[in-house]
């Protein structure tokens, strides 16, 4: 199998859009994500679909959408757009600029749409505004990859894994972000579901880039 982390070739204009979008993914991991998505969408048995769980403002979605566009594929990105625990008032990553004055709650949906508009990816990226658990209840088709980067509580990470890992096609990939084997480096829930995927026997690790893990399904 060719490397799923060959160099990223995201165009400069889209890179600028991604850089301007609020978010937390390091540039080198985003480049790796781009090349991984391109790899799995380019395979002969591709079904032309990738899934992202955890949209926020669409920074990583630009990389996924660009890869999908190259192959006439689609990306569905799932988020309730009310933010994870760490985005709420009083927490480290709360951004007052993203609070909806009407509801008094975080709302990243409009900023996500702006990102997709600026990146010219509105025909390639489909935003599904719903909790991950609710969206999983109505989902019904396989994908070339599922990228889990949603809430980092154990409940949220477990729900994302239980609801979406099963939709990775044979030969496709489960991608998990913020995997830190050392607890001193970051939260444990993404690591815990990463271990579950490996222990299931269905997935084999094929690439590591920073905190991004690429697991291929048998």
All structural domains of the chain, each given as residue ranges with its CATH number in brackets, are 12-217 (3.40.50.150)
pLDDT at 49 over 90: yes
pLDDT digit string, tens, across residues 123-168: 999 999 999 999 999 999 999 999 999 998 999 999 999 999 999 9
pLDDT for 1 equals 34
Question: Sorting pLDDT into bands at 50, 70 and 90, what band is 38?
Answer: very high
**How far, CA to CA in Å, does 71 sit from each of 43, 58, 60, 66, 180?**
10, 20, 18, 9, 32
Task: Return the minimum-mean-pLDDT range out of 5-14, 28-37, 169-178.
Answer: 5-14
The catalytic position among 34, 39, 80, 152 is 152
- Per DSSP, the three-state class of 202 is coil
Find out whether 217 and 203 touch, Cβ atoms under 8 Å. Answer: yes
- Per DSSP, the three-state class of 6 is coil
- Is 102 tagged catalytic? no
* pTM, 2 dp: 0.91
Contacts of the segment 194-198: beta carbons below 8 A, 24+ positions apart? 196/161, 197/161, 197/165
pLDDT for 186 equals 85
pLDDT digit string, tens, across residues 86-126: 655 665 655 777 777 666 778 999 999 999 999 999 999 99
pLDDT for 5 equals 61
Cβ neighbours, 10 Å, residue 86? 14
């Amino acid at each position: 199998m060719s490397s799923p982390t060959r160099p990223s070739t995201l165009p400069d204009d889209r890179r600028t859009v991604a850089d301007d979008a609020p978010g937390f993914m390091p540039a080198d991991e985003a480049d790796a994500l781009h090349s991984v998505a391109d790899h799995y969408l380019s395979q002969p048995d591709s079904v032309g679909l990738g899934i992202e769980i955890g949209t926020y403002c669409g920074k990583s979605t630009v990389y996924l959408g660009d890869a999908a566009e190259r192959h006439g594929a689609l990306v569905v990105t799932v988020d309730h757009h009310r933010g994870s625990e760490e985005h709420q008032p009083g927490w480290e990553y709360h951004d007052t600029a993203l609070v909806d004055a009407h509801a008094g709650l975080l709302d990243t949906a409009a900023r996500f749409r702006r990102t997709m508009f600026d990146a010219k990816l509105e025909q390639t990226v489909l935003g599904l505004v719903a909790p991950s658990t609710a969206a999983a209840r109505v989902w019904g088709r396989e994908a070339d990859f599922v990228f889990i980067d949603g809430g980092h509580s154990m409940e949220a990470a477990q729900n994302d894994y239980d609801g979406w890992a099963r939709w990775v096609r044979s030969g496709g990939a489960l991608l998990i972000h913020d995997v830190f084997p050392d607890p001193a480096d970051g939260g444990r829930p993404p690591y815990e579901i990463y271990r579950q995927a490996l222990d299931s026997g269905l997935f084999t690790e094929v690439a590591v880039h920073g905190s991004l893990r690429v697991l291929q399904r048998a």
